[in-house]
């Protein structure tokens, strides 16, 4: 028989800012890939700037935001990863109020790849008419190198996104853990003994987002250098 502590209860694990960040990033990245294929470079740049803003926001939110969004909370060592994998194959109930020990590292990889993708884009050119806003700082030869990296990183990003989506689906299909609903609604069913994460104010998120947008704007319009 199940004890009191094992009864399941709904908890809010993902705050609204983290969820909005996730789905906005998905939208911007899909749009970045589509616009470049259509040679809509101005739109490509705009979706790129927005992706950069989102990632800057998320890096700061990972330091001062809700408990479940914090890097210190979800970046764990190899022992925790091994423990997580054992629990998964034992089909233990999901007790995570943040990313699991494996997913946490994937999140960091995704964020760093998007940051690198956006940053190299600022210096890139398309050999025809479009130049990233920071092209004048480096000149054509270096811009071409940045463009090559922009291409390479976009391949790595595509692979990482494919792994990410495959992993999320595998958790659902193979291990019976639904991660998608919580990323949509914020809510997750957890064993009663698991404490809810402490959530930070959405106003703080809004302020951080505004500063991130201002920073990207200042870089892109070259107000800083």
Rule CB under 6 A: which residues touch ligand HEM?
18, 21-22, 25-26, 29, 32-33, 36, 44-45, 48-49, 51, 58, 69, 99-100, 103, 107, 110-111, 114, 117-118, 121-122, 124-126, 130, 132, 147, 150-151, 154, 161, 164-165, 168, 179-180, 183
Q: Which long-range contacts (CB under 8 A, 24 or more apart) does 80-88 make?
A: 81/105, 88/171, 88/175, 88/177
Question: Count of CB atoms within 10 A of residue 11's CB?
Answer: 19
Residue whose CB is less far from ligand HEM, 161 or 204:
161
Shortest distance, CB of residue 25 to ligand HEM, whole angstroms? 5
Task: Give whichever of 25 and 205 is closer to ligand HEM, judged by the CB atom.
Answer: 25
Residue 46 CB, shortest distance to ligand HEM, in Å, is 8
CB of 63 to ligand HEM, least distance (A): 13
d(CA 181, CA 215): 33
Cβ-based nearer residue to ligand HEM, 125 or 192: 125
Q: How far is the CB of 78 from ligand HEM (least distance, A)?
A: 18
Half-sphere CA count of 21, side-chain side, radius 13 A: 27
Least distance (Å) between residue 47 CB and ligand HEM: 6
Rounded Cα distance, 196 and 209, in Å:
25
Q: Which residue has the tokens 């800083």?
A: 224
Nearer to ligand HEM, 4 or 155 (CB): 155
Taking the alpha carbons at both ends of the chain, their separation in whole angstroms is 67
Task: Tell me whether residue 86 or residue 181 sits nearer to ligand HEM (CB atom).
Answer: 181
Q: Residue 155 and residue 108: Cα distance in Å, rounded? A: 17
Question: Quick one: which of 3, 184, 8 has its CA closest to 95?
Answer: 8
């Amino acid at each position: 028989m199940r004890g009191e502590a094992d009864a399941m209860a709904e908890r809010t694990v993902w705050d609204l800012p983290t969820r909005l960040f996730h789905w906005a990033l998905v939208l911007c990245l899909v749009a970045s890939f589509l616009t470049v294929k259509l040679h809509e470079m101005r739109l490509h740049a705009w979706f790129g700037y927005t992706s950069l803003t989102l990632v800057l926001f998320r890096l700061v939110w990972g330091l001062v935001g809700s408990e479940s969004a914090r890097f210190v909370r979800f970046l764990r060592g190899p022992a925790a990863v091994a423990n997580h994998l054992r629990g998964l194959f034992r089909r233990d109930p999901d007790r995570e109020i943040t990313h699991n020990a494996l997913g946490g590292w994937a999140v960091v990889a995704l964020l760093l790849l998007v940051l690198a993708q956006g940053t190299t884009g600022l210096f890139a050119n398309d050999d025809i008419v479009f130049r990233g806003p920071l092209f004048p700082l480096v000149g054509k030869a270096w811009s071409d190198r940045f463009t090559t990296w922009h291409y390479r990183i976009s391949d790595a990003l595509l692979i990482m996104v494919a792994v990410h989506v495959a992993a999320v689906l595998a958790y659902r299909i193979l291990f019976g853990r639904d991660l998608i609903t919580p990323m949509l609604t914020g809510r997750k069913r957890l064993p009663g003994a698991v404490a809810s994460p402490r959530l930070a104010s959405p106003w703080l998120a809004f302020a951080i987002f505004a500063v991130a947008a201002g920073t990207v704007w200042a870089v892109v319009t070259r107000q800083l250098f």
